Chains A and B, each alone.
Chain A
Amino acid sequence: MTTTHMPTTRRGEGAAPPVRPARRPRREGAAWVFLSPWVLGACVLTLLPMAVSLYLSFTDYDLFNAPSWVGLRNYTQMFTEDPRYWRSVGATLTYVAIAVPLQLALALVVALALKNMRHGKAFYRSAFYAPSLLGASMSIALVWRAIFNDGGTVDHLLGTGGWVNKPGWALLAVALLTVWQFGAPMVIFLAGLQQIPGELYEAAEVDGAGRRRQFLSITVPMLSPVIFFNLVLQTIQAFQVFTPAFAISAGKGGPADSTLFYTLYLYDRGFVASHMGYASAMAWVLLLAIGVVTAVLFRTSRSWVFYASEGDR
C-alpha cells in the first residue's frame, strides 16, 4: 500500500528546493521540540531499561542486594542446567504454531463472509472486533478459566472435565482465547479485500473460473502482503503471550508446565524466585529469537508474497 505512495512524496519534496536551505535548521529545531516527549520517553523508559537489563543479564541480582558479575553463567545455566527452560520453549512454540494459524484462518474466513454482506456489515464488524479490545484483560482471562475449569460451562456441556487441569487441553484453552480475538487481523483483512480490483473477478468469471479458483488465483495472491503483515504481527505477539496463560493457570503455568510459556517462566524466575539476572538473560534470548523468526518469515516472504507494484514491472 505504501509503496505506491512513495514516488509521489519524493517528487513533492524535489519540487521545493529553493526555499529549503534557509529554513532547514529552524524546522528541525521545532521538530525536536515536538518529538521531545517521545524521544525522552523512548530514552528513559525503553532504551535505558534495555541497557540495564543487558547488563543485568550478566549478573546475579536478587532485587535486594547489589548485582554481582557472573559473566555468561546465566546463559549457560539456561541452556545446560535448566530442564524447565526447555519445556517453556516447547510450550511457547506449540502455542504459536496452534494459535497463530487458527486465528488468521478464522479472521480471513469471517472477513470473506463480511466482504459481500449488504446489511449490518458495520454491526458485525464491530461485534467481531470487540473481543480484541476485551481479550487482553485479566477479567476475560479469569472468566475463561471459570468456563474451562472442572464444573465450568465446558465441563457441563461436553462432560470433558476441566480443561485447565489437563496438560494439552489447558494449552488449547489458552490458544482458543487468542483465536477468539481474531477481530484485529480481520479488520485488516477486510480492508485488504476491498482493495482488490473488482475487474479481476469479473475477468476471471468471463474466463469461466469458479469461486474456488478465484479465491486461490486472485484473492490469495492479491491479499498476500496483508496476510504476511498479519502473520508477522500475530507471531510476534504470540511469542509474548502472558496475561491469559497467567490467569488461566492461576499463575503457575500448569498443569505439568504445559502452559508455562516463555514470558510466564521469565516472570517466575524474576519476580517469584528473585533471579532478575537470569530473567534478563531470558528476555534477551527471547528478543533474539523473535528477531530470527521474523527474519526467517521475511526471507520466505519473497517466494509467496506478491506486491501489485512488482506485477506492473
Chain B
Amino acid sequence: MPGNRTRKSSATAVVLALCAVLGGCSGPQESGGGGKVVLRYTWWGNPDRAARTQQAVDLFEEKHPGIEVQTSFSGYDAYKQKLATQAAGGDAPDVMQLDYRMIDQYASGGVLLDFAEQRAALDTDAFDTGLLATGKVDGRQYAIPQARGTETVVYDAKQWKAAGVAPPREGWTWNDWADTMRELARRTGEPGGTDPGWSEDAFEVWLRGRGKALYTEDRQLGFTADDLTHYWTFTDRLRREGAVSPAEETTQLDGTVENTPLGRGRALSDNNWDAPASGYLGLLPDGEVTLAPMPSGEDGTPGQYFKPSMFMGVAADTSHPEESVRLVDFMLNDPEAAKILGATRGIPVNETLREEIAPDLKDFDRTIYDYQASLEGELKAPPQAPPSGDSALQTTFQRDYDQVSYERMSPREAAENYITEAKAELRS
C-alpha cells in the first residue's frame, strides 16, 4: 500500500536524521596514536614554564612508552575561561593545573577525581600534611598542591640604580613603597610600577597588613566599602600623580608578564607572584631581575603569605584514571622531573626533593628559592581556601577598578558597587 510505504520511508528518514544528530555529538573519544593511552594535560604559564614542562612530559613518555601526553597551555585568564567551559561540558582534560580558587567549585561540582581512588599510583609521603590539606574539600583529596608561591615586587635592579633610587629595605611599608614609586617616576619620567588597585591579590596583601582578610571564616566578605574606598583612593592618587601606571596600561593586564607595564617597558616595577616573574628574564635580557617583599602594613604587619600556588587535579570522568594519577605522581615526585622543572611553578612541595634540588638550583630558580627563604618564619598563616565565587569576583574587582582609573567613578562609588556585586555573588 502506498500509505504504508510512505510511513516506512518517513520512519527511515527519521532514523537517518536522528543518526545525523547523534553523530554530530559523539566525538572521537578513544582514537589515539597506535593503541597508546592518550592523556590530555593542560596548564597556564609563561613560555619558560611551557618549555620545561614539555621537557618533563617528554621524559615521562620515555619512561612510559604506552602513554602519550597531549599538552596545551595559555595565559591564566584564557585558561580559566577555557577550563570552565570544558569542565561544564564534561570534557575536562585528564590532568589539569588548578588554582586555589577553582578547587572548591570543581570538587563540589564532581569534576575532580578523589585521589583516594588511586592511592597506589600516587605517593604523598614527602608532603607537608598542612599543605596537602589545602587540596581537600570535605575531607577528600581532590587536588595535590604542586608548589607554593608568594607575591613580590619585581624590578630590574640596574634600572633602579641608573635612576639613583635605593632598593627596597626589608620590612618596607605601603607608604615607603608609595614614596619609592613617586621617586622613580620623578627621576625617570616613567611610572614607578603597576597600579596595584587593579589586583585583588595586592588588595588582599594590603588588607592583611591591616589585620583584616578578604573573606571571613563563614565565607562572607571580610572587609567593608570603607576599606576598599581607602585602598582605591590610595592607588588612584598615585595614578593621578603618575607614580603608577596609567589606566590605558593597567587595563591591558591579563595575567601574563608580557602585558604588564614592566614587561612592555612602560614602568619600573611590577607586583606579581614570584614564579611567573621568571618571565621577565626574557623580557629584560640585559637587566638584573630582582624580587623584593610586598609592602607591610604601617605597623609592620606582613600581608603576604605562602600560598599553595598551583594544584594538579585529575578529571573524575577520565577514561584512564591510573595513568593520569601516575603522570601527577611523576610531575611531583620524580627527581629528574624536579630537576628539569626547578622553580618554574614555585618551590616544590615534596620536601625530600626540595632539599635535594636546592644546591643545584641556578639562575632565577635560585633567586626564587632565596627570596622564599628570606621570608621563612616571617609570614602569617595563609587564609583558608576562598569561596568558589572568588574566581568571578577577581574579574569584577578589575572591572570596577577600571571605572576608577578611567575616572568614570569615584573610589567610593566603585567600592560600593563592588560590595553589592560581591554580596550577590557570595549569596549563591
Contact of A37 with B13 at beta-carbon distance under 8 Å, contacts A62-B109, A83-B417, A84-B399 already known: yes
Is there a chain B Cβ closer than 8 Å to A162's Cβ? yes
* Stretch from A28-36, A135-143, A196-204 that touches the partner: A28-36
Q: Is the CB of A32 within 8 A of B21?
A: no
Distance between B154 CB and nearest chain A CB, rounded to angstroms: 23
Between-chain CB contacts (< 8 Å), 13 pairs: A33-B13, A40-B18, A62-B388, A62-B428, A64-B106, A252-B398, A255-B247, A256-B399, A256-B403, A257-B399, A257-B403, A272-B84, A274-B105
Docked Cα-Cα span, A81 to B391, in Å, equals 19
Q: Is the CB of A40 within 8 A of B14?
A: yes
Is there a chain A Cβ closer than 8 Å to B248's Cβ? yes
Q: Is the CB of A30 within 8 A of B251?
A: no
Within 8 A of A (CB), among B379-413: 388-389, 391-392, 395-396, 398-399, 402-403, 405-406, 408
Q: Which 4 A-B pairs have the closest CB atoms?
A: A64-B109, A273-B392, A63-B88, A256-B406
Distance between B378 CB and nearest chain A CB, rounded to angstroms: 36
* A53 cross-chain contacts in B, Cβ below 8 A: none
A64 partner, pick from B77, B108, B391, beta carbons under 8 A: B108
Distance between B274 CB and nearest chain A CB, rounded to angstroms: 25
Q: Is the CB of A81 within 8 A of B424?
A: yes
Is there a chain A Cβ closer than 8 Å to B359's Cβ? no
* A36 cross-chain contacts in B, Cβ below 8 A: 10, 13-14, 17
Is there a chain B Cβ closer than 8 Å to A235's Cβ? no
Distance between A189 CB and nearest chain B CB, rounded to angstroms: 37
Q: Is the CB of B424 within 8 A of A77?
A: yes
* B109 cross-chain contacts in A, Cβ below 8 A: 62-65
Q: Is the CB of A165 within 8 A of B248?
A: yes
* A162 cross-chain contacts in B, Cβ below 8 A: 248
* B377 cross-chain contacts in A, Cβ below 8 A: none
Within 8 A of B (CB), among A131-176: 150, 161-162, 165-167
Docked Cα-Cα span, A64 to B88, in Å, equals 6
Within 8 A of A (CB), among B310-341: none
Is there a chain A Cβ closer than 8 Å to B33's Cβ? no
Q: Is the CB of A33 within 8 A of B10?
A: yes
Interface size class on chain B is 35 or more
Docked Cα-Cα span, A150 to B111, in Å, equals 40
Distance between A270 CB and nearest chain B CB, rounded to angstroms: 9
Within 8 A of B (CB), among A7-43: 25-26, 29-30, 32-34, 36-37, 40-41
Q: Is the CB of A82 within 8 A of B421?
A: yes
**Closest residue of chain B to A255, judged by CB?**
B251
* B9 cross-chain contacts in A, Cβ below 8 A: 33
* A83 cross-chain contacts in B, Cβ below 8 A: 417, 420-421
A interface residues with partner B (beta carbon < 8 Å): 25-26, 29-30, 32-34, 36-37, 40-41, 44-45, 60, 62-65, 77, 81-84, 150, 161-162, 165-167, 250-257, 260, 268, 271-275
Distance between A254 CB and nearest chain B CB, rounded to angstroms: 5
Docked Cα-Cα span, A136 to B402, in Å, equals 28
* A256 cross-chain contacts in B, Cβ below 8 A: 247, 251, 399, 402-403, 405-406, 408
Interface string of B270-289 (1 = CB under 8 A from A): 00000000000000000000
B251 partner, pick from A33, A63, A254, beta carbons under 8 A: A254
Q: List 10 additional A-B contacts (Cβ < 8 Å) besides A62-B105, A64-B106, A64-B110.
A: A64-B87, A64-B105, A64-B108, A84-B421, A167-B406, A250-B252, A256-B251, A257-B402, A272-B81, A273-B389
Q: Is the CB of A271 within 8 A of B421?
A: no
Within 8 A of A (CB), among B78-96: 78, 80-81, 84-85, 87-88
Q: Is the CB of B81 within 8 A of A274?
A: no
Q: Is the CB of B406 within 8 A of A251?
A: no
* B81 cross-chain contacts in A, Cβ below 8 A: 251, 271-272
Q: Is the CB of B428 within 8 A of A60?
A: yes
Contact of A29 with B7 at beta-carbon distance under 8 Å, contacts A36-B17, A60-B428 already known: yes
Q: Is the CB of A251 within 8 A of B251?
A: no
**Closest residue of chain B to A39, judged by CB?**
B17
Docked Cα-Cα span, A250 to B255, in Å, equals 12
Q: Is the CB of B254 within 8 A of A250?
A: yes
Docked Cα-Cα span, A121 to B312, in Å, equals 61
Contact of A255 with B88 at beta-carbon distance under 8 Å, contacts A64-B110, A273-B392 already known: no
Docked Cα-Cα span, A40 to B16, in Å, equals 11
Is there a chain A Cβ closer than 8 Å to B20's Cβ? yes
Is there a chain A Cβ closer than 8 Å to B2's Cβ? yes
Is there a chain A Cβ closer than 8 Å to B129's Cβ? no
Q: Is the CB of A255 within 8 A of B402?
A: yes
Interface centre among B6, B18, B77 (most CB of A within 10 A): B6
Docked Cα-Cα span, A29 to B84, in Å, equals 45
**Closest residue of chain A to B111, judged by CB?**
A64
Docked Cα-Cα span, A83 to B249, in Å, equals 25
Q: Is the CB of A271 within 8 A of B6?
A: no
